Structures are given as structure tokens and as C-alpha cells.
Amino acid sequence: MEIVVVSDTNIFIDLYTTDLLDEFFSLTIHIHTTDFIIHELKVMEQKSKILGYDKLFIKKFDMREMIELVGFQRKMQDKTNVSIQDCSVWLYAQDNGYILLTGDGKLRKTAIKEGTNVRGILYIFDKLVEEKLLTPQKACEKLQLLRQINGRLPSKEIEKRIEIWSK
């Protein structure tokens, strides 16, 4: 079965910051995002690097889909305060049965409650090690770096992986 992931902005930023975009785009998964997420990338160097990968599919919303997206965001406003960018990847993943990749806790919790398959950056690290695109030792180093940069990551899950990959 082919795996399709729909990436949120924070995943791209974390992978860029840890210099793992090449490895990410080498995974045997299909990587999608939306035009809303691309526009949310403000650092031109990041945006250029991400747009340089032929493997990236960018979903562009037509007028009908935009109306649906705005309606979806309004509906979700009652449950959580998610941005139109968040809703774009969530709705796209949900409508197509894809995996939503996000590091946004609020988006993650609400999307899971609504039945969307959600994963985060640690899923990517697991896949990188599983597909031998990163050695376990290098994965530990990159996770340590990411933890310093991004304090919102789940410490227990990181520690578990570091313990396993350090052996």
C-alpha cells in the first residue's frame, strides 16, 4: 500500500532546520502539501529548498474547494482555533484518506478526534531509520538538535527512541 502524507508547515521547518529535507524527500512515501502551507513559509531560503523537490505535490484549491475549506474552518472554530492553513492540510488529508503530518498539538488532537490519521516528526524519524536513510546514531544526533530547537516535542517519546537507537 502506498503511503501518502500531507505535511504542515512546522514539519518542513523542523526538517529544514535539522538539515533532513534531502532524506525526507528520499523516503518511499508520497509527500503532499497545500498552496496555503507553501505561502506560509516566510523564509525564502526554506521555501526555495522545499519547492526544489520534484517529489513534492502541492494541492491548489479551486473556488469550490475554497468555499468548502472556509466552511470547514468555521465548523472547526467551535472545537478549536485552527488556521486556514491548518484546515487546508487537515481537510485535504481527511478527504483523501492520507496521513496528516503535523507538530501542532491543537491541530493533532482535534484532527484525531475527528477521525483523521495523524503523525508527527517522530514518525518521519522512524521512517528515516527504518529505510536506512539515517543511521540510528545520526538519528539520535538530529533528535537532540531538534529537541533544542523545538521545545514542544514529546520528551518521553524522544528519550525512548534515543535509548533504542543508542545501542
Query: Could you list the pLDDT tens digit for every one of the 167 residues in the chain?
Result: 689 999 999 999 999 999 999 999 999 999 999 999 999 999 999 999 999 999 999 999 999 999 999 999 999 887 788 899 999 999 999 999 999 999 998 899 999 999 999 999 999 999 999 999 999 999 999 999 999 988 888 889 999 999 999 87
Helix (H, G, I), strand (E, B) or coil at 58: strand
The whole-angstrom separation of Cα 157 and Cα 50 is 27
Query: What one-character DSSP code corresponds to residue 134?
Result: S
- Is residue 6 within 8 A of residue 98, CB to CB? The reply is yes
Q: Which of 28, 18, 11, 57 lies closest to 133, judged by CA?
A: 28
